[in-house]
Amino acid sequence: MNKASSKLGEPLAQIFRVNFRPRLDPSLPTWIGACGLVGVLVGVPLWWLVTTSLRGEQGLTLAHYQQIFSDRALLRAVRNSLLIAFWASLLATAVGSLMGWLIARTDVPFKQLFRALVLASFVTPPFVGAFAWTMLAGPNAGWFNHLYRYTSGLEGYLFNIYSFEGVIFVIFLYSYPYAFTMITNALEPVSSEMEEAAAILGANRFRTALTITLPLITPALLGGFIFAFVHALALFGVPAILAMPAGFHTITTQIWVLLSQVPQEFEIVAALSVFLLLVAVVLLSLQKRVLGRKGFATITGRGMRRSPIELGRWRYPALIFCFFVVALAVFLPYLVLIKAAFSKAWAMPLKLENLTLDNWRVAVTGYSATKDAVINTLVLGVLTGTLGVGLAAFVAYAVNRKLFRGYQTLAYLSVAPTVVPAIVLAAGLLIAYSGPPFFLYGTIWILLLAYLTKELPVGYTQVDTTMKGIHIELEEASRILGAHRLSTMRSITLPLAKGGIIAAWLLMFIGAVRELSASILLYTSKSWVLSVLIIDLQNHGVIEVIAVLSILMLIFTFITVAFMQKFVGRDTLGLNE
């Protein structure tokens, strides 16, 4: 049997190798396949959303859109979302850019430490932060308000995290790294000559900052602001934890509620989602124009000289400012989480008899969903990273080597999911894949689809950057020496791109592990993930157990970040989300 087939196989192989292959141009089918795959990932859910939002009793209707703008409750949610996003991103841009400037340009101490801590705020899931802040600034039991009453001897409270301002504050704490990164990226390649020129002409430090540095970074400021705005608009966890108890909705929590009650209102959800999508599309294309505008000739060919601006007597106030920001975003929340995770009841004073390891036992063995959630989260993270990086690497390679005509379309499709807020994507997936012919709802595969789609731009951008740095002549040399494209890829391109590919894998893994906004619509009791479990357990009042799970999630994240630093060995805090 074996012999016969190999006898038959030989001439066949010869035919294929010698005669067929050169004639068959694989680029068109590959292009169709790749575009099709990427297109389906994004296209199908969005198509379902649009059609559902227009679905009426008879034929097409705009009634659901009208309802958004006539129903007072829905209109309030839209207004809340826009206001919260505006103030949070304004605050984030102001604080993030000031800190970015201090770190990139001045002689403020502990720069590396602050960079690491900004990275820590960046990777802290905002809902974990929000949860921690309920213990820090709850109006009655929160640490800060205890302190306030204790020191002032007054009644009442100073901070109420369950409020409009509370939501803005927490979103700000976890989105200032966007502006920070954009500003440091914009300032770092700029030589300090111009600033020095201003100084020579007699401008003082602040005049220099105002007239030279600020104009230089205006595009980055605007870009950072818009990015933070869209990010804030799409957040689910923070408003779910802080806004709903305070009695108001944002678009995202409204979508969730409309889908988790009887009867489910798919049409309104679809209309709200399309609205959210349009806002994101408009803003991000605006951002692209702002950032893509011809910049100033800041990077000169001559040798770069960079000398940090001396802050003088402002050096220590600047240090305190930076410290204050990271304390609010990282130190205090982590501290209160750790305390709660080891306490019998989180609000009890820190005494030996109030400490316990029982929360860890309950979290790990007590609740059957926890084990499933941890396993699912890790499985989904690994699958998202692996499949995603494969897809991203293929697309990036094809695009950079211009393997076929129309490669631009593929590049465009791969970054398209950036503009789709996660909850919008999830609503689309939910409608698309929970009926015939695809029954993916109720499995972890629908979550995988969501994560892959959401993380594809992240992975693609990362690999693309790496690929751009590998000059084609190395590959050409290999091809000239007789290697096939595939073996060239294996022995030349892949080893060179290894760092970037590993970074892409880790970034996509982190993205999947902390994902909440899409998961909250797509999970079922068969497909728990850690982030959803943390939100869900809020309703059970087991605060100490949630603290344990939050710490677990942070541990996963930080291990990944540590790997990333090791493999890539540079600043990995890119604008990749």
Longest CA–CA span in the chain (Å) reads: 95
Q: Judged by CB under 8 A, which of 371, 540, 555, 571 binds other proteins?
A: 540
Residue 543 engages other proteins in binding (rule: CB under 8 A)? yes
The 3-state secondary structure of 414-455 reads HHHHHHCCHHHHHHHHHHHHCCCCCCCCCCHHHHHHHHHHHH
Give the Cα separation of 12 and 20 in Å (integer).
10
Token look-up 């029982």 returns: 358
Q: Would you list the DSSP string of 105-119? A: HB--S-HHHHHHHHH
User: In the range 46-85, which residues lie near other proteins by CB under 8 A?
Assistant: 73, 76
Q: Which stretch binds other proteins (CB under 8 A): 50-58, 274-282, 361-369, 377-385?
A: 361-369
Q: Which is nearer to other proteins, 334 or 346 (CB)?
A: 346
**Structure tokens that stand for 59 in this block:** 């034929």
Provide the minimum distance between the beta carbon of 261 and other proteins in the complex, in angstroms, as a whole number.
5
CA distances from 442 to 40, 125, 445, 523 (A): 20, 25, 8, 7
User: In the range 103-142, which residues lie near other proteins by CB under 8 A?
Assistant: 138-142
Provide the minimum distance between the beta carbon of 233 and other proteins in the complex, in angstroms, as a whole number.
20
Q: Which is nearer to other proteins, 106 or 354 (CB)?
A: 354
Q: Judged by CB under 8 A, which of 109, 366, 495, 569 binds other proteins?
A: 366
Q: Judged by CB under 8 A, which of 122, 367, 460, 556 binds other proteins?
A: 367
Provide the minimum distance between the beta carbon of 104 and other proteins in the complex, in angstroms, as a whole number.
41
Q: Which is nearer to other proteins, 147 or 304 (CB)?
A: 147
Q: Judged by CB under 8 A, which of 317, 524, 555, 571 binds other proteins?
A: 524
Provide the minimum distance between the beta carbon of 441 and other proteins in the complex, in angstroms, as a whole number.
5
Q: Which is nearer to other proteins, 263 or 482 (CB)?
A: 263
**Structure tokens that stand for 101 in this block:** 């400037």
Provide the minimum distance between the beta carbon of 521 and other proteins in the complex, in angstroms, as a whole number.
10
Provide the minimum distance between the beta carbon of 304 and other proteins in the complex, in angstroms, as a whole number.
54
Q: Which is nearer to other proteins, 295 or 366 (CB)?
A: 366
Residue 262 engages other proteins in binding (rule: CB under 8 A)? yes
Q: Judged by CB under 8 A, which of 70, 264, 307, 491 binds other proteins?
A: 264
Provide the minimum distance between the beta carbon of 46 and other proteins in the complex, in angstroms, as a whole number.
20
309, β-bridge pairs: 106
**Structure tokens that stand for 203 in this block:** 């401008």
- Pattern 278-317, other proteins, x by CB under 8 A: ----------------------------------------
> Please, which residues have CB within 8 angstroms of residue 549's CB and are 6 or more apart in sequence?
363, 370, 373, 530, 533, 534, 537
User: In the range 416-435, which residues lie near other proteins by CB under 8 A?
Assistant: 434-435
Q: How many residues bind other proteins (CB under 8 A)?
A: 46
Residue 245 engages other proteins in binding (rule: CB under 8 A)? yes
Q: Judged by CB under 8 A, which of 27, 300, 368, 408 binds other proteins?
A: 368
Nearest to 335, CA basis, from 323, 321, 350? 350
Residue 154 engages other proteins in binding (rule: CB under 8 A)? no
E-strand ranges in 104-251 read: none
Q: Which is nearer to other proteins, 257 or 575 (CB)?
A: 257
- Pattern 341-360, other proteins, x by CB under 8 A: ---xxxx-------------
Q: Which stretch binds other proteins (CB under 8 A): 273-281, 338-346, 418-426, 559-567?
A: 338-346
Q: Which residues of 274-301 are buried (b: 16+ CB within 10 A; e: fewer)?
A: bbbbebbeebbeebeebbeeeeeeeeee
Q: Judged by CB under 8 A, which of 11, 22, 59, 247 binds other proteins?
A: 247
Cis amide prior to 109 (ω within 30 degrees)? no
Burial grade of 329 (CB within 10 A; 0-12, 13-18, 19 or more) = buried
548-553 long-range contacts, Cβ below 8 Å, gap at least 24? Answer: 548/341, 548/359, 548/360, 548/362, 548/363, 549/363, 549/370, 549/373, 550/128, 550/131, 550/132, 550/337, 551/337, 551/338, 551/341, 552/363, 552/374, 553/125, 553/128, 553/513, 553/514
Neighbours of 81 (CB within 10 A): 26
Q: Judged by CB under 8 A, which of 442, 483, 563, 575 binds other proteins?
A: 442
Give the Cα separation of 418 and 283 in Å (integer).
12
**At residue 26, what are phi and psi to the nearest 5 degrees?**
-80, -5
Q: Judged by CB under 8 A, which of 65, 441, 451, 556 binds other proteins?
A: 441
The dihedral through the CA atoms of 561, 562, 568, 570 has a sign that is positive
Q: Which stretch binds other proteins (CB under 8 A): 17-25, 255-263, 274-282, 400-408?
A: 255-263
Residue 437 engages other proteins in binding (rule: CB under 8 A)? no
CA distances from 14 to 8, 17, 20, 21 (A): 11, 5, 9, 10
> Please, which residues have CB within 8 angstroms of residue 321's CB and are 6 or more apart in sequence?
98, 99, 102
Provide the minimum distance between the beta carbon of 156 and other proteins in the complex, in angstroms, as a whole number.
8
Q: Which stretch binds other proteins (CB under 8 A): 124-132, 269-277, 495-503, 535-543?
A: 535-543
Q: Which stretch binds other proteins (CB under 8 A): 89-97, 240-248, 395-403, 447-455?
A: 240-248
Nearest to 556, CA basis, from 338, 375, 421? 375
Residue 498 engages other proteins in binding (rule: CB under 8 A)? no
Q: Which is nearer to other proteins, 236 or 509 (CB)?
A: 236
Q: Would you list the DSSP string of 467-506? A: HHTS-HHHHHHHHHTT--HHHHIIIIIHHHHHHHHHHHHH
Q: Which is nearer to other proteins, 273 or 488 (CB)?
A: 273
Interface with other proteins by CB under 8 A: which residues? 73, 76, 138-142, 162, 244-249, 257, 259-264, 344-347, 366-369, 434-436, 439, 441-442, 524-526, 536-543
